[in-house]
């Protein structure tokens, strides 16, 4: 299996649409099937879908396996895991470049969370 690291960078609009389709599937999916589903919402060429899905493999978000003469794709991580990694990346970058100002705003938002949920988050922090 390909050992690409998921970077946690945000996806573009088309990448996001394609990942939503793939995350909603059970099992593997072909480029053709993705292009057909996406084609119901917007005009898209098969080659465009293939290029974007190849980029998603390179970003470590998808895994592909050769099946005969074509590839089948599946997510490397869940949508929830991807969102968590992305938020972590954004937050880490914001803290390292903007410092205490970002941290102050984050703490204010944490204080708005339901106390029970806040306790769960604190417990999670303790497990790291």
Fold of 13-77: Arc Repressor Mutant, subunit A (1.10.10)
Average pLDDT over residues 115-121: 85
How far apart, in Å, do the first and last CA atoms of the chain sit?
27
pLDDT of 5 strictly over 60: no
Strands 62-67 and 70-75: antiparallel
Residues in Cβ contact with 70 at an 8 Å cutoff, skipping those fewer than 6 apart: 30, 31, 32
Checking if the pLDDT of 116 tops 80, the result is yes
Give the global pTM.
Answer: 0.72
pLDDT at 88: 82
Contact 15, 56 (CB under 8 A): yes
Task: Please tell me the distance from the alpha carbon of residue 84 to that of residue 127, in angstroms, as a whole number.
Answer: 16
Q: How confident is the model at residue 8 (pLDDT cuts 50, 70, 90)?
A: low
């Amino acid at each position: 299996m390909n050992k690409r690291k998921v970077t946690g960078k945000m996806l573009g609009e088309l990448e996001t649409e394609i990942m939503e389709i793939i995350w909603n599937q059970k099992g593997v999916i072909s480029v053709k099937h993705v292009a057909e589903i996406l084609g119901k919402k917007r005009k898209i060429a098969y080659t465009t879908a293939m290029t974007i899905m190849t980029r998603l493999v390179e970003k470590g978000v998808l895994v592909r396996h050769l099946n005969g003469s074509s590839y089948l794709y599946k997510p490397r991580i869940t949508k929830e895991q991807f969102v968590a990694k992305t938020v972590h990346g954004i937050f880490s970058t914001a803290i390292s470049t903007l410092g205490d100002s970002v941290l102050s705003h984050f703490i204010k938002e944490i204080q708005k969370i339901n106390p029970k949920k806040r306790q769960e988050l604190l417990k999670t922090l303790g497990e790291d």
